[in-house]
Amino acid sequence: MEFKDYYKIMGIERDATQDQIKRAYRKLARKYHPDVSKDPDAELRFKEVGEAYAVLKDTEKRTAYDQLGQNWKSGEDFRPPPNWDQGFEFRGGDANNFDSEQFSDFFESVFGGASRGYEGQAQREFHMRGEDTHAKVEIDLEDAYQGSSRTITLKKSALGADGRPYLKEHKLNIHIPKGIRQGQHIRLAKQGGAGMGQGEAGDLYLKIAFRSHALYRVEGGDVYLDLPVAPWEAALGGKVKVPTPTGTVEMTIPENSSSGRKLRLKGRGIPGKQPGDFYVVIQIAMPPADTDAAKAAYRNMEKALAFDPRAHLEV
């Protein structure tokens, strides 16, 4: 597969402004339009120009392409370096609005087949919805229980005064709805990539992830707490106070509880139409034998109980 020099295809310099890119595209599109050009390679050139413009007119794709293309020349055998596109989001947009063939293998390998449809679009004035973009947002578990509002800062491609793309920070005020779960998305309408012509902006999708919590872990809508209990509490049972994200509750530890036993508080997980459950996982905490009295107590237990924890392993 050959590396494609989109700047060479467009006949422009690498520091061309967006206005210069647009003018070059319009000129070449008219020149090679299959309905008017007599050039035997007009259709191929028309497609190449459309593909080049699809990349260079998009600030994020152009930024990524410029980073990728620093060490490549047109026509050289090409394979994308591993993880070269880390930090960029290419998929999305309203490509299904157009009937067109896929772009070149080079384009597919670099951008994953995103932003198709420019070929059909080139045959008329450019009006296209912006691409949907994606970002990950970390929240606290308590936010999922109560809901919250916060300001986040994301990096977004923009054009400088010289017409060159760069990444800038922008702030958004977002609402975290009560009951949201890990992996779900918050959609912010028209906060994605800018549209072309009269096309509206795409949407921004924020994927929710929970920050690591000092006490709890989350599985779907269920929340788990490893609860340390003393050996006598596990053996004899009793009432203990248990912290939950909605407050402290008193629970009964059944007699003869072993480590790993789960006690359920139904509906105390992440709220929702079908709320999750809260699970307390018993973990027997052994007192240290760090005094003579503690050592004597363990020896008395050994004699009194005649307990063999490995009896079940005998064959």
pLDDT at 162 over 80: no
**Residue that is last in its domain, among 210, 234, 257:** 210
Q: What angle do CA 38, 41, 44 make, to 5 degrees?
A: 125
Cα distances (angstroms) measured from residue 268 to each of 212, 227, 241, 284, 287: 19, 16, 15, 23, 31
* Any domain includes 167: yes
Residues 16 and 98 in one domain: yes
Residues 196 and 222 in one domain: no
Residues 142 and 86 in one domain: no
- Domain containing 13 — which CATH number? 1.10.287.110
* Any domain includes 97: yes
Average pLDDT, integer, range 186-201: 81
pLDDT at 90 over 70: no
pLDDT at 44 over 90: no
Residues 37 and 87 in one domain: yes
Per-residue pLDDT at 76: 65
39 falls in which pLDDT band (50, 70, 90)?
confident
For residues 246 and 268, the answer to whether their CB atoms sit within 8 Å is yes
For the chain, the domain total comes to 3
Compute φ and ψ for 300, nearest 5 degrees. -65, -40
- Domain containing 180 — which CATH number? 2.60.260.20
pLDDT at 207 over 60: yes
Range of the domain at 306: 216-313
Residues 67 and 110 in one domain: yes
- Whole-angstrom distance between the N-terminal and C-terminal Cα of the chain? 63
Which DSSP string do the residues of 53-70 spell out, in sequence order? Answer: HHHHTSHHHHHHHHHHGG
Q: What angle do CA 313, 314, 315 make, to 5 degrees?
A: 115
Neighbours of 23 (CB within 10 A): 13
Best-predicted range by mean pLDDT (72-81, 183-192, 247-256): 247-256
Residues 229 and 305 in one domain: yes
* Any domain includes 126: no
Task: Pull the structure tokens for residue 166.
Answer: 């760069």
For residues 29 and 50, the answer to whether their CB atoms sit within 8 Å is yes
